[in-house]
């Protein structure tokens, strides 16, 4: 068995990092554990803490069988510390240290930068749990309720993953940062989470699906970039987190797809030929396509801000130092140093949007964002297939990257969803109060097995191949 495949599952903290023989780190994690459980009970899913939820738990890092499905009470979930197996002879793949053996300890000169990367990543994990904590009360089915909780417990595990690295490799500062990760609160006036999109509310299930599609996908991009890291424990951690992350985006993509499917079916049944006839569509109790488009506009633009400034010396430093690579760096065919390379960036010059070629090293945020946009388009195209199949001409689109931005080149201008600079942002490109109230009015919980709220279609297949009437959450047991 390759190094790291054996998981010690019996202790308080399942792990494949040898905690049993590492008294210092084990003690630090065991000291942190009660605060985590308190945080989970206070800020994790509201209600349902005593319910039995059919969850998967990571019990191995073998790609062929890493998860076990069973009924679990969420506070008893086994949040483990799991690293993907070490790759023998792995070398640093990019930057100034390219070709040197990967680091097993933190290089002193990069300590501060690495700590910051871990804290920023770590902060997003509990933030999304906090954002989603009220959604259980309005779940459209037990299937969806279970998926929400699956995402939540895994974000909890991702917090553990970052806390382990902080406590193992950063001593006292690491322990302080780990405590701070439990102290900040999404949307809190005085102690907010670190990044904007993680302080926004997730008030309804369409928002949840949009969040897991668009914002968890930012998480994927960041994890992919960190999975390339020359700091091997970080690389291994992120590689395993990515296996879980895929499910979060699946929940988002299929969630939106099922909403679109139900809307199209209802329009067809009612003989509606104009999907833009919002009043007629809403009279059917489903979510009209124009509102879905507005939600896309909102969540996509908020998430683009997470990539930071297009031109960034921090990003260049993180790459040069070998800490954070590009998306799938190991599949790219260039010198992986980028000393003389350039990259095209959309910039705002004299009030116009123009493309400029800038040093590739300074444009790494932009590049990751471009890869993200391509990745986002896949699901949107599949949603459009559902609309097309139903016989409607409407197509959902990603708005232009300049639309509704608060960070970077476009923060200073106003652009419409096509990227035209305008004097005033159009009021109809983002969800209005009315739109949100309408969505909220649909959010009525459905808890009979196999039943779904009338605004969303049933999924094509069950979780873990369970049949349609499976009781994914035993609410009162
Ligand atoms: Fe995560
Ligand atoms: Fe996630």
Report, as an integer, the average pLDDT of 300-311.
96
Kindly report the pTM of this predicted structure: 0.97
197-225 residue pLDDT tens: 899 989 999 999 999 999 999 999 999 99
| Residue 150 CA to ligand 1 centre (angstroms) | 11
pLDDT of residue 369: 98
**Contacts of residue 152, Cβ cutoff 8 Å, sequence gap at least 6:** 44, 45, 74, 128, 129, 132
Counting ligands in written order, the one closest to the CA of 223 is 1
- 274, 431 in Cβ contact below 8 A? no
Quickly tell me which residue has 């299937």 as its tokens: 143
Q: For residue 408, how far is the Cα from the chain centroid?
A: 21
Cβ neighbourhood burial of 190 (10 Å; 0-12, 13-18, 19+): exposed
Tell me the sheet residues that pair with 359: 342
Asked if the model's pLDDT at residue 271 lies above 70, the reply is yes
Q: Percentage of residues in the chain with pLDDT exceeding 70?
A: 99
Confidence (pLDDT) at 160 = 97
Closest ligand by atom to 158 CA: 1
Question: Residue 55: is its pLDDT beyond 70?
Answer: yes
Q: Which pLDDT belongs to residue 425?
A: 82
105: phi then psi, degrees, rounded to nearest 5: -125, 165
The overall average pLDDT reported for the chain is 95
Q: How far apart are CA 304 and CA 408, in angstroms?
A: 10
> Who's near 100: CB < 8 A, 6+ residues apart?
91, 92, 230, 322
Residue 37: what are its φ and ψ, rounded to 5°? -65, -40
- The answer to whether the beta carbons of residues 454 and 259 sit under 8 Å apart is no
* Structure tokens, 127: 């933030």
Nearest residue to 406 via CA among 296, 308, 315, 292: 308
| Residue range 65-71: mean pLDDT, rounded | 91
For residue 356, name the pLDDT band (cuts at 50, 70, 90).
Answer: very high
Ligand 1 mean position, distance from CA 284 (Å): 36
In this prediction, residue 427 carries a pLDDT of: 82
The C-alpha torsion from 362 through 364 and 366 to 367, rounded to 10°, is: 140
Q: Which ligand is nearest to the CA of 161?
A: 1
Cα of 245 from ligand 1 centre, angstroms: 6
Distance 53 CA to ligand 2 centre (A): 18
SS3 52: strand
Write the pLDDT tens digit of every residue in 368-407: 999 999 999 999 999 999 999 999 999 999 999 999 999 9
Distances (CA, A) of 361 to 95, 222, 334, 401: 10, 17, 13, 21
Instruction: Determine the 3-state secondary structure of 146 from DSSP.
Output: helix
Q: Residues near 176 by Cβ (< 8 Å), separated by ≥ 6?
A: none
Cβ neighbours for 223, distance < 8 A, ≥ 6 positions apart: 121, 238, 241, 242, 245
Indicate the pLDDT class of residue 4, thresholds 50, 70 and 90.
Answer: low
Mean pLDDT, residues 6-29: 90
Please report the pLDDT score of residue 2 as a whole number.
45
User: Cα separation of 260 and 286, whole Å?
Assistant: 9
d(C-alpha 207, C-alpha 253), whole Å? 12
Kindly give, in sequence order, each residue whose CB lies less than 8 Å from that of residue 399, ignoring residues fewer than 6 positions away: 296, 297, 300, 301, 417, 429
How far, in Å, CA of 362 to CA of 66, rounded?
38
pLDDT for the residue 163: 98
**pLDDT of residue 1 exceeding 50:** no
Distance 390 CA to ligand 1 centre (A): 34
209/215 Cα distance (integer angstroms): 10
Query: Where are the alpha helices (H) located in 170-204, listed in sequence order?
Result: 171-183
Please tell me the distance between residue 426's alpha carbon and the centre of ligand 2 in angstroms. Answer: 32
SS3 353: strand
Residue 295 has pLDDT above 80, yes or no: yes
**What distance in angstroms lies between residue 348's CA and the mean position of ligand 1's atoms?**
33
pLDDT exceeds cutoff 60 at 463: yes
Q: What whole-number percentage of the chain has pLDDT above 90?
A: 92
Alpha helices in 44-139 (DSSP H): 111-131
Q: Higher confidence at residue 4 or residue 103?
A: 103
Rounded mean pLDDT of 175-194?
97
């Amino acid at each position: 068995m390759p190094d790291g495949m054996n998981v010690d599952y019996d202790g308080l903290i399942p792990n494949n990092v040898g905690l049993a023989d590492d008294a210092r780190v084990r003690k630090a994690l065991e000291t942190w554990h009660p605060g985590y459980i308190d945080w989970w009970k206070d800020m994790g899913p509201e209600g349902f803490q005593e319910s039995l939820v059919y969850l998967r738990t990571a019990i191995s890092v073998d790609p062929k069988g890493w998860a076990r499905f069973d009924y679990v009470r969420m506070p008893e979930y086994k949040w483990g510390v799991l690293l993907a197996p070490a790759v023998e002879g792995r070398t640093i793949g990019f930057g100034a240290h390219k070709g040197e053996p990967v680091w097993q300890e933190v290089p002193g000169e990069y300590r501060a930068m690495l700590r910051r990367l871990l804290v920023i990543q770590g902060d997003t994990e509990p933030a999304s749990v906090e954002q989603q904590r009220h959604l259980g009360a309005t779940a459209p089915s037990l299937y969806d309720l279970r998926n929400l909780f699956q995402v939540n417990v895994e974000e909890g595990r991702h917090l553990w993953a970052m806390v382990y690295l902080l406590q193992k490799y950063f001593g006292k500062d690491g322990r302080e940062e780990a405590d701070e990760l439990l102290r900040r609160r999404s949307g809190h006036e005085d102690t907010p989470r670190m990044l904007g999109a993680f302080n926004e509310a997730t008030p309804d299930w369409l928002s949840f699906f949009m969040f897991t599609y668009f914002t968890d996908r930012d998480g994927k991009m960041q994890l992919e970039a960190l999975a390339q890291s020359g700091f091997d424990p970080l690389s291994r951690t992120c590689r395993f987190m990515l296996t879980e992350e895929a499910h979060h985006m699946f929940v988002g993509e299929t969630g939106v797809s099922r909403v679109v499917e139900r809307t199209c079916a209802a329009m067809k049944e009612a003989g509606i030929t104009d999907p833009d006839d919002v009043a007629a569509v809403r009279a059917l109790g489903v979510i009209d396509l124009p509102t879905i488009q507005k939600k896309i506009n909102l969540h996509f633009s908020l998430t683009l801000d997470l990539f930071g400034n297009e031109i960034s010396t921090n990003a260049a430093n993180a790459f040069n130092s070998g800490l954070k690579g590009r998306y799938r760096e190991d599949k790219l065919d260039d010198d992986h140093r980028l000393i003389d390379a350039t990259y095209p960036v959309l910039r705002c010059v004299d009030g116009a949007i123009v493309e400029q070629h800038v040093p590739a090293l300074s444009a790494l945020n932009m590049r990751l964002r471009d890869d993200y946009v391509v990745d986002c388009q896949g699901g949107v195209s599949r949603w459009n297939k559902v609309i097309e199949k139903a016989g409607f001409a409407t197509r959902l689109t990603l708005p232009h990257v300049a639309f509704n931005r608060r960070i970077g080149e476009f923060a200073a201008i106003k652009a419409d969803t096509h990227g035209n600079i305008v004097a005033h942002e159009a009021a109809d490109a983002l969800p209005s109060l009315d739109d949100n109230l309408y969505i909220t009015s649909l959010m009525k919980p459905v808890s009979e097995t196999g039943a779904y709220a009338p605004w969303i279609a049933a999924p094509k297949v069950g979780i873990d191949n369970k049949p349609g009437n499976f009781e994914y959450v035993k609410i009162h047991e």
